[in-house]
Structure 1
Amino acid sequence: MAHEIPAVELAPGVNLPTIGFGTWQITGRSAYESARAALDAGYRHIDTATMYGNEEEIGRALRDSGLDRSEVFITTKLPPSQAGKERQTLDASLKALGVDFVDLWLIHWPPARGRSLPTWVSFLEQRDAGRIRSAGVSNYDTALVDELIKETGETPVVNQVPWSPAQHDPRFLDDMRDRRVVVEGYSALKNTPLDDPRLVKIAEAHGVTVPQVVLRWQLHHDVVIIPKSTHPERMAQNLAVLEFSLTADEIATVNDV
C-alpha cells in the first residue's frame, strides 16, 4: 500500500507521506514490534522524537524490515531542553536510529525565551550539511513561526500541532497555508469524544469506525496524520481511511464536534 499513500512535497525531492505512524509512548520491545508491523502494513513515514526514548528500536525495525533507507521517511525532534546542543542531540539521534540523515527534524516545543531563533539557525546549518533533509517546528503558533521567517528568511516546512475537531482552527490553517507550512496533527483521537452521536452516524453511513472518520476529516483539511497503535488491525484501519471520502456536509459536521 505504500505507493498509494499521497505525499506532500516539502522541498525538491523531499516528499512527506500524508499518513505516518506515530510512536509517542511506545517504548522498548513494543516500539520495535509496532514499527516493524507498521512498515509491513505499508507505512513509509515514521514519527519519533528524542523525548520518546525509542529511536534505537525504530532504527532496528527499519533495518530488519529489509526496506531501503530511501523508502522510509523518518521524523525526529529536538527537546527544548537541548537548545544550544543541537548538533550533539542530532548526533545521538542519528546514532540511535542507525542512519546518516533524517528526513525531517523538528523543534519539539518552543525553547525558553530567546532560544528559538538560535536553535532554528542551528537546524538550518544541519540541513545545509546534509544531516537532515528538511527542518520544521512543533507546537508553534503563527507569531513564533513568523519570527523565524522574519529573522532568517527560511520557513519551517512543517508545524506539528495537536489537532482534533475540538481544536479545529480554520484561521490557523489559513495562516500556515499562506506561509506554505504543512500542518501535521497529533492526538486527534485522544482529544475527540468518539461516542458523539454525530460521529457515530457518519461512521455508520460509510461502514467505517469513528476513529477512521476523524482521521479522514483531518486529511480533507490537508492536515498530515500520524496515528499510533500497537495493534496491526488498527494500523491497517488507519491506512484504509484513503478508501472513502466525507461529503462537504459531513466535514462541516465534524468541524463542530
Structure 2
Amino acid sequence: MAGLCLGTVQLGQKYGINNQIGRQPTHEEAFGIIQAAIDSGIEYIDTASVYGEAEELLGKFGIGNYPVKVITKLYIREQADINNIKKLVHSSLQKLKMDCVDGYLLHNAADMYNDVIMQQMTEVKESGKVNHIGVSIYEPEDAIYAAKLKEIDYIQIPYNVFDQRLDHTEFFHLTKENGKTVFARSAFLQGLLLSDDKNILLPEAADSIKLFRAIIEKYHISPQQAAFYFSYTHSNIDYVVFGVDTKEQLLNNLAMVNDLNGDFMKCRQELASSFKDMPKKIITPSLWKECL
C-alpha cells in the first residue's frame, strides 16, 4: 500500500469544487490539521509557493521542528526567474523557517525541458538546500519524459478513478526501473468524486458520477472510501497526496486506511474497467470553468 502525504493547498487558500466549509480554514484550524497529521505518522507534507499563504502557515506552525518531510514547489512567473532559482528556493525556505526541504518540485512540467532550469535545480540539490528534486505533471507525455530524466527524483501525478491515463502507458514501468518516487494527487478529483448524484457540481460528469455511485453501492463502499482506496492500493504509487478542509476530514481519511479490506480489490477492478477513457474536460480541473 502507498504511504500518505498531506497536501496544503486547502490550508493556504479556498480550494476545490466541493469545499465543505466554503472558506479557507483559520490558522487555528489549519494548525490542528497539521498537528493531527504529524501525530498520526504521516510522512510527507506537500506545499508550494503559489498555494496562497501555505508556506508561511507551515513556518508559523514550526514545521521544521517535527519529524515530517516537506516538499514545496518552484513556480517560474517570468523570464527573470529562470536565472534566480536559488533565490526562489531561499524565499520558500525563509517562509517555511527551514534550512532544507526534502523535495523541491517544478510546478510547471514545461520547465523540465529547459536545460538552464534543470542545471540550477541540480545545483540547488547539490548545495544541500533540498534533498530531492522533481516535477509536478498533468499530461502523460510529460510524465513519461520525467520518468526517463536522470535528474528527477520525485514525480507528482494526477491519478484517480476517472483519470487512469498513466495505467495505459509505460510510465509506471519506467519509474520502477529508474528508481523514481511517485506521488499521486487528486484522489478525490478536487471533490468531484464526492459529489451527491442529486447535486452534481459539474454537469458534464453527471452520467459518470451516477455510474461510479452505482458500482460502489454494490460493494457497500462509500464514495470517500472508493476514491481514496483506488489510489492507495495502486502497487506502483508510493505516496497518495490528499488535502482536507477540516481536522475531522483528516481523521476520517486516516480511519479509512485502517478499514481497508480485501473486498475492495473486486470493486477496484470494476472501477478500473468502467472508466478507462474519460473525457479530458472531466479529468482536467482547469477546464471546468468552461462547464460550470
Give TM-score scaled by structure 1 length. Answer: 0.77
Specify the alignment match of 2:4 in structure 1.
Answer: 19
- Whole-Å separation in 1 of the counterparts to 2:153 and 2:184: 14
Seq. identity, %: 21
**1:249 and 2:266 equivalent?**
yes
Specify the alignment match of 1:120 in structure 2.
Answer: 118
Specify the alignment match of 2:233 in structure 1.
Answer: 220
Specify the alignment match of 2:255 in structure 1.
Answer: 240
- Greater Rg by CA: 2
RMSD: 2.9
Specify the alignment match of 2:106 in structure 1.
Answer: 107
Deviation of residue 100 (structure 1)?
A: 1.0
CA distance change for structure 1 residues 148 and 216 in 2, over 3 Å: closer, same or farther?
Answer: closer
Opposite residue 202 of structure 1, the aligned amino acid is I
Specify the alignment match of 1:171 in structure 2.
Answer: 168
Does the 8 A contact of 1:199 with 1:210 survive in 2?
yes
Deviation of residue 76 (structure 1)?
A: 0.2
**1:231 and 2:227 equivalent?**
no
Does the 8 A contact of 2:193 with 2:223 survive in 1?
no
Specify the alignment match of 1:161 in structure 2.
Answer: 157
Q: How does 1:25-64 map to 2 (within 5 A)?
A: 25-27=10-12, 29=27, 30-52=29-51, 53-63=53-63
Per-residue CA deviation, residues 62-95 of structure 1 (Å, 9 max, x unaligned), is 45xxx854x2010100013243321011001111
- Whole-Å separation in 1 of the counterparts to 2:232 and 2:222: 16
Deviation of residue 97 (structure 1)?
A: 0.7
Does the 8 A contact of 1:123 with 1:135 survive in 2?
yes
- Whole-Å separation in 1 of the counterparts to 2:219 and 2:143: 39
Does the 8 A contact of 1:75 with 1:106 survive in 2?
yes
Gaps (5+ residues) in structure 2?
A: 13-25, 198-209, 276-292
Deviation of residue 119 (structure 1)?
A: 1.4
Specify the alignment match of 2:17 in structure 1.
Answer: none
- Whole-Å separation in 2 of the counterparts to 1:186 and 1:129: 28
Q: How does 1:181-220 map to 2 (within 5 A)?
A: 181-189=180-188, 190=190, 191-192=192-193, 194=195, 195=197, 196=210, 198-199=212-213, 202=216, 205=219, 209-220=222-233
Q: Which of 70, 76, 82 does residue 72 from structure 2 map onto?
A: 76
Per-residue CA deviation, residues 134-188 of structure 1 (Å, 9 max, x unaligned), is 11100164544665677xx62422221222211112124x324313333322222
Does the 8 A contact of 1:199 with 1:213 survive in 2?
no
Counterpart secondary structure, 1:179: helix
Gaps (5+ residues) in structure 1?
A: 1-5, 8-17
